[in-house]
């Protein structure tokens, strides 16, 4: 059974870069869409972007070019980098996998989430 685990700093200073990693166990990164999603303190969910098999990436345009998602197949990990953070980036960050191999589908596997606070 595939399991996901987010890791990274819980506190990031304004204007710096937020970096998180999602470790995947019980399955391969190949042939699935792997996403980052965040949940604000108010409870809203925002999709950040996805990577497909260490190749194609698609990002939420609302993040204005600040985001990069990359993957390391050999380590079964994919990562999020969010530049120039502000307090508005404070959220719980989840990694998630689509349900179906090779096609867009719902998020069937989620990590537990990691809280990131942006503050000086």
Partner 1 sequence: DIVLTQSPDSLPVSLGERATINCKSSQSVLYSGDNKNYLAWYQQKPGQPPKLLISGASSRESGVPDRFSASGSETDFTLTIASLQAEDVAVYFCQQYVAPPRTFGQGTRVEIK
Strands (E), the chain: 3-7, 11-12, 18-25, 33-39, 45-52, 56-59, 67-72, 77-82, 91-98, 107-110, 114-118
Q: How far is the CB of 40 from partner 1 (least distance, A)?
A: 11
Q: Which is nearer to partner 1, 8 or 16 (CB)?
A: 8
Q: Which is nearer to partner 1, 78 or 94 (CB)?
A: 94
Instruction: Return d(Cα 14, Cα 108) in angstroms, integer.
Output: 33
Q: Does 5 bind partner 1 (CB under 8 A)?
A: no
Q: Does 115 bind partner 1 (CB under 8 A)?
A: no
Q: How far is the CB of 60 from partner 1 (least distance, A)?
A: 4
Q: How far is the CB of 71 from partner 1 (least distance, A)?
A: 18
Q: Does 10 bind partner 1 (CB under 8 A)?
A: no
Contact indicator for 63, 116 with CB cutoff of 8 Å: no
């Amino acid at each position: 059974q595939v399991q996901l685990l987010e890791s990274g700093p819980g506190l990031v200073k304004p204007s710096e870069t937020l970096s998180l990693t999602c470790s995947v166990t019980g399955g391969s990164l190949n042939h699935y869409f792997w996403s980052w999603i965040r949940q604000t303190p108010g409870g809203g969910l925002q999709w950040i972007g996805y990577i497909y098999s260490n190749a194609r990436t698609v990002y939420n345009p609302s993040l204005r070019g600040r985001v990069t998602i990359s993957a390391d197949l050999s380590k079964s990990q994919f990562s999020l980098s969010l530049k120039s953070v502000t307090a508005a980036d404070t959220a719980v960050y989840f990694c998630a996998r689509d349900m179906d191999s090779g096609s867009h589908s719902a998020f069937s596997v989620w990590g537990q989430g990691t809280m990131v606070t942006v503050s000086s």
